[in-house]
Structure 1
Amino acid sequence: MFKQLRNIDTAFQHIKRFSLFLITANVLVLCFCIWKSYSLVDEAQNRVHILYNGKVLEALASDRKLNLPVELRDHIKTFHQYFFNLSPDEKAIQAGITKALYLADESAKQAYDNLREQGYYNNLISANISQEITVDSIKVDVNSSPYGFTCYATEKLVRSTSTIFRKLVTQGQVRDMKTQTDNNPHGFLIQHWETLVNTDVDPKALKP
């Protein structure tokens, strides 16, 4: 009889250990399935399908924070190109300035009004001068919003008899508007924009 009881107790211990093992395995499998499901859902949300030339293409969406410095620099560069790339044509100047003002606040509008009142644009047109800008570098502080920046660029003024180069340094802040439009594809707005340096330089000093 005691032998039977020991056999029953041993069998019960085996069944108990097997049950605990089975429960533990089920819990681990369930946790893995839940984690895998969330991973698949997150991957699906980051997958974007676009239509190009009648074909459906798949693209992966990335976290905007990873691209933030690149987007900020492109927004700042685009604004400066619209604002400072000027042809000796009133309509062309107005078209570029209009595009630039979509990317900045009233500080840019005030700078434009000042240049217009000083006759800057009329002088470009009357003297048939074209102005081009090359953005050399842009420093952006992405640690806090609005994001402070300093832009270093070179202006090139071409007239029929000579070419003048100018060193241009501007600074300001960029605010995230949270809304993207056709006129402002990055959804940023430059504010408190000002020119720190805009002086003539020797062309030889620009050569590496």
Structure 2
Amino acid sequence: MDLQTLKNIPASFALAKRSLLYCLLVSIIISVSSLVWAFVTTNTIKNTAFVLTKDGQAAMMKGISLTEVDEFRNPEIKNHIKMFHEGFWEIDQFNYERRINKALYLSGRSGKQLYQTLQANGHLAKIVSQNLTQSIEIDSIKINDKITPYQAKLYGKLRVSRTDQKAETVNDFKAQFVLHNVSRTDQNPHGLLIENYLLQSKPVTIPK
């Protein structure tokens, strides 16, 4: 081995070290880039779904994040309120148990307390014994969905009539309550629960 070769050994080691360092840096950059790409792609995919149309074609449907839920909540809140009141108050002697029990899935303790109050004051007994039909006419629903639980008021009219006569009474109806977010179920598709229900209208009058 000549002197010139011995002089080139340190230079060769330095070149090898630089080459290894460059390879390491490139590997790190590729790995980090792959992780970032996978993270972004996963977040994009998890908010999308594919549904089959009636023609058998796949259509992409984009979901919304949890932070965006409240922006789309207002229509669901109104529909939940409408479902509860129509189920609870639109009754007759044949369907009142089935409809009220279905409506109670949309409310919490205060809904059950209201049901017990109607039983205690004889209102439901009059529906059955006097062959009455009751319906609700919703005039307006006011919602404050900027805070949780959501606050709401409902204004309308409650109509009570005899199925065998034309006699009818119309009662002003006003109620206020709050709505809590809960898990969605088949019985509660909106994932809302009505609580603190306060009926502010006068007692319902029965047609003579």
* Unaligned residue ranges in structure 1 (runs of 5+): 1-34, 202-208
2:91 touches 2:135 (CA, 8 Å); kept in 1? yes
One-letter amino acid of the counterpart of residue 47, structure 1: T
Q: Secondary structure at the match of 2:187?
A: coil
CA shift for structure 1 position 112: 0.7
Q: Which residue of 2 aligns with 1:71?
A: 76
Of residues 143, 147, 162, the one that matches 1:144 is 147
**Superposed CA RMSD:** 2.7
Partner-residue secondary structure (3-state), 1:185: coil
Q: Which residue of 1 aligns with 2:12?
A: none
Distance 1:134 1:77 in 2: 10
Residue 64 of structure 1: how far off its partner (Å)? 2.1
The change in CA–CA distance for 1:156 and 1:36 in structure 2 (over 3 A counts) is farther
Offset, 1:47: 2.6
Distance in 2 (alpha carbons) for counterparts of 1:154 and 1:104: 21
CA distance in 1, matches of 2:192, 2:178: 10
Residues 47, 58 of structure 1: 8 Å contact kept: yes
Segments of 5+ residues of structure 2 without an aligned counterpart are 1-35
Q: CA deviation at 1:114?
A: 1.1
Tell me the residue number matched to 1:113: 116
Matches of 1:88 and 1:52, distance apart in 2? 42
The change in CA–CA distance for 1:126 and 1:52 in structure 2 (over 3 A counts) is farther
Instruction: Give the percent of matched residue pairs that are identical in Structure 1 and Structure 2.
Output: 26
Does residue 158 in structure 1 map to residue 161 in structure 2? yes
SS in 2 for 1:71: helix
- Residue 185 (structure 1) aligned to one of 176, 181, 189: 189
**2:62 alignment counterpart:** 60
- Does the 8 A contact of 2:70 with 2:145 survive in 1? no
> Match for 1:134: what amino acid?
E
Deviations 1:4-43 (A, max 9, x none): xxxxxxxxxxxxxxxxxxxxxxxxxxxxxxx999877655
**Separation (CA, whole Å) in 1 of partners of 2:42 and 2:121:** 59
Q: TM-score, normalised by structure 2?
A: 0.70
Report what 1:123 is aligned to: 126
Query: Which among 122, 134, 137 is matched to residue 134 of structure 1?
Result: 137
Question: Aligned with 1:197: secondary structure?
Answer: coil
Distance apart, 1:130 and its partner CA: 0.6
Distance 2:204 2:181 in 1: 34
Count of aligned positions = 166
State the TM-score, normalizing by the size of structure 1: 0.70
2 CA distance for matches of 1:127 and 1:94?
Answer: 16
